[in-house]
Amino acid sequence: MTDLPLLVEPKTLEARLGADNLLVVDLGKAETYRKLHIPGAVFLDYPAIVAVNKPVMGLLPDSAALERIFSATGIDSDTHVVACDDEGGGRAARLLWTLECAGHRHMSLLNGGIHAWANEGHPYDEAPVTPVVTEFKVVYNDSPVADSTYINDRLGNPETRLLDVRSPDEYNGIKKYAERGGHIPGAVNCEWTNMMDQQHNLRFKPDAGLLDMLAALGITPDRETITYCQTHHRSAHSYVVLKHLGFSKVKGYPGSWSDWGNNPDLPVE
């Protein structure tokens, strides 16, 4: 079994390519994958790992669907998954969060994704890779998940912090992608791209700077933090950032604002 960390650098991954039980999963755009992907990487279409119950988007698929998707992708209980994409890590991070919900324990995010891999001269292929079908079994783990009831019950609790990683205009209700605009009461705002180093191929910013930025918002490792966005796509990236920084009490909100903002029974700021 590989000993790769949660956040893996391209140079480290290149040295491990071809190792037993290591599988690179690419969730970037299909056209990007056809032009350029990491040798041995299999393609996974992002919509396959999210469920929809309109108007609520970005839900967690049921166990049967996850078993079918992950088995077809070539993932089993021993597979160490390294996820990547071509957008800064949102889709890849959502895969890791979903795997964790399914009880999988061996996973990494490629820091900087395809941007870092290609721009820094690592080898790539163009021919598609056909996955070796396996048998994945879901052992549901609810520790990474917060739903609207869980959040509503903790509103005003100083030990639980809500991190809204949408744009400031979404947070303030200027841009509205649900029946109601605004944010969950008490949530603080940090747009997800603020955690990316735009000058370093979309890697995570250095740990010390991220910790300082989060602490200024009241987001600290001693408290529970729940991340959300519009559908738990952007906030899955922030979830992995927090896990990388050593936060042990962190959850993601599937459905996110598409769930909360469309439920008239829930309070809004």
142, 166, 30: which is closest to 90 by C-alpha?
A: 166
Q: Which residues contact 11 (CB under 8 A, 6 or more apart)?
A: 120, 122
User: Has 84 been annotated as catalytic?
Assistant: no
Q: Tokens in use for 55? A: 């108007």
Catalytic one among 84, 101, 190, 229?
Answer: 229
Contact 6, 95 (CB under 8 A): no
DSSP annotation of 180: S
Per-residue H/E/C for the chain: CCCCCCEECHHHHHHHCCCCCEEEEECCCHHHHHHCECCCCEECCHHHHCEEECCEEEECCCHHHHHHHHHHHCCCCCCEEEEECCCCCHHHHHHHHHHHHCCCCCEEEECCHHHHHHHCCCCCECCCCCCCCCCCCCCCCCCCECCHHHHHCCCCCCCEEEEECCCHHHHCCCCCCCCCCCCCCCCEECCHHHHEECCCCCEECCHHHHHHHHHCCCCCCCCEEEEECCCCCHHHHHHHHHHHCCCCCEEECCCHHHHHCCCCCCCCC
Determine the Cα–Cα distance for residues 97 and 11; give it in Å rounded to an integer: 24
Q: Show which residues are catalytic.
A: 229
